[in-house]
């Protein structure tokens, strides 16, 4: 792969952004940038200053998202928009979200440095509060942009402080009632497309020696249960033989083992699916000498196909019902939570992939298992695409890493996509 001027000249500029924002948001471990906090506002002000330095027109919408625009020759055309979110999970990594903002801003810096004017406007979009960690609600900035927040969303309470999401939004000088009207607060007709560069957050790209950049095929939707409880019968561990037991742990283990086997069968026949039990607990009376009478756990099924998620969920319920009869237990499922898959625009994805091919950038197509603001924007009818870059040590943790060479390759692909758009 050839190394372009952007990859070499832009490296110092991009690294300075990452280093500065890391210092601004450093926590005991990793970084913490809460959505709609004073710190998130400070980070946005710093980035806006960089935008003004290179002549970008800067404005904020009523959700607090920031739009920084480099004017094109024909300002009647809808803009090419690129960016991501600036917040983080508590004590998380520095690149989740910020990589997309930095890449978009680095492309604008490159165009300013070389006096490039596009046919249409190029806009860097910096969104607020994408992470759900603090209020239990994801994509707040982008949903607010679309007018899709609800009054109940605004009443969500902070994970550790006595404050609501709505109060945090108000503290930023914004009117949260404008974000629940059901209609977008921005003119969607002025957006030609949205491209979000993001770290992959998984191991596919970083485990590949040759291909470090990906074009996303879609964002997996999910069916989730926050709490499933298996009710058995508590008893003495030494006094009850196997045939008389109603062991909640063994019944739960059997259910999960069966679903794990089904998962592999579905993968073998080509279905896109991931299945996770993130939390599992025995009851409050659990002890080494007690047959457990209660187990609670979570479930998370994700796929690019809503039909696949729904069918796998139905199979789960059928297996649970069978085990109830076999083992004399009862499974209680809370109300399932559904998130539809986020569809990327095929034509735009093909453009990104072709830009990689045309410029000698090794690239693969792969799905996104995590959710992103791009899904919200795409659901509003705007063509969206995503570029993934390799990162190390996963994400949503303080050990998250990213090789700058990989980042600059992904940023170059974003630039080539922008350059070839018209």
Annotated binding site for Zn(2+): 85, 96, 131, 198, 396
173: left (phi over 0), alpha (psi -120 to 50) or beta: left
Instruction: Give the pair of three-digit tokens for residue 381.
Output: 């009818």
Residue whose pair of structure tokens reads 């020696």 in the numeric block: 209
CB 273 within 8 A of CB 267: yes
10 Å CB burial of residue 382 (0-12, 13-18, 19+) is buried
Q: Could you tell me which residues are annotated as the binding site? A: 85, 96, 131, 198, 396
The tokens of 390 are what? 């390799």
CA–CA distance, 24 with 32 (Å, rounded to integer): 9
CA distance readout (Å), 289 to 280, 282, 292 = 19, 13, 9
210 vs 317: CA distance, rounded Å: 42
| Nearest-angstrom CA–CA distance, 74 and 247 | 70
DSSP string, 261-309: HHHHHHHHTT---EEE---EEE-TT--TTEE--EEEEEEEEEES-HHHH
According to DSSP, the β-strands at 57-60 and 66-70 are: antiparallel
Rounded Cα distance between 13 and 346, Å, is 32
The β-bridge relationship of strands 294-303 and 221-231 is antiparallel
The CA distance from 298 to 318, in Å, is 17
The tokens of 23 are what? 């210092």
């Amino acid at each position: 792969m050839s190394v372009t001027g952007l990859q070499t000249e832009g490296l110092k500029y991009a690294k300075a952004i990452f280093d500065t924002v890391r210092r601004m948001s450093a926590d005991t471990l990793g970084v913490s940038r809460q959505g709609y906090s004073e710190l998130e506002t400070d980070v946005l002000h710093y980035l806006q200053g960089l935008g003004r330095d290179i002549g970008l027109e800067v404005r904020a919408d009523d959700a607090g998202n920031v739009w920084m625009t480099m004017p094109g020759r024909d300002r009647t055309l809808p803009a090419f928009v690129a960016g991501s979110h600036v917040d983080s999970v508590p004590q998380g990594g520095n690149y989740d979200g910020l990589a997309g903002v930095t890449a978009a801003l680095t492309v604008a810096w490159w165009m300013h440095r070389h006096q490039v004017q596009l046919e249409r406007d190029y806009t860097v979009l910096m969104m607020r509060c994408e992470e759900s960690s603090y209020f239990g609600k994801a994509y707040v900035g982008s949903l607010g942009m679309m007018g899709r927040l609800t009054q109940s969303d605004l009443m969500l309470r902070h994970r550790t402080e006595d404050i609501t999401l709505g109060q945090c939004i108000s503290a930023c000088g914004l009117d949260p009632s404008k974000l629940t009207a059901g209609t977008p607060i921005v003119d969607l007709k002025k957006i030609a497309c949205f491209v979000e560069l993001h770290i992959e957050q998984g191991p596919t790209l970083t485990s590949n020696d040759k291909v470090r950049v990906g074009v996303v095929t879609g964002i997996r939707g999910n069916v989730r249960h926050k709490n499933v409880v298996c009710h058995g019968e508590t008893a003495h561990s030494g006094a009850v033989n196997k045939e008389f037991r109603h062991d909640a742990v063994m019944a739960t283990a059997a259910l999960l083992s069966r679903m794990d086997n089904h998962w592999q069968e579905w993968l073998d026949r080509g279905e896109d699916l991931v299945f996770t039990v993130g939390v599992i607990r025995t009851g409050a009376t659990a002890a080494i000498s007690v047959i457990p009478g209660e187990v609670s756990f979570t479930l998370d099924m994700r796929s690019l196909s809503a039909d696949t998620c729904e069918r796998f969920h139905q199979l789960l319920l059928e297996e649970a019902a069978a085990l109830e009869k076999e083992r004399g237990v009862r499974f209680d499922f809370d109300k399932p939570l559904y998130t539809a898959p986020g569809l990327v625009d095929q034509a735009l994805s093909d453009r990104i992939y072709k830009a990689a091919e045309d410029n000698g950038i090794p690239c693969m197509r792969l799905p996104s298992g995590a959710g992103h603001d791009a899904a919200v924007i795409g659901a509003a009818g705007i063509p969206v695409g995503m570029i993934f870059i390799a990162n190390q040590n996963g994400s949503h943790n303080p050990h998250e890493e990213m090789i700058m060479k990989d980042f600059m390759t992904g940023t170059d692909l974003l630039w080539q996509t922008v350059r070839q758009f018209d």
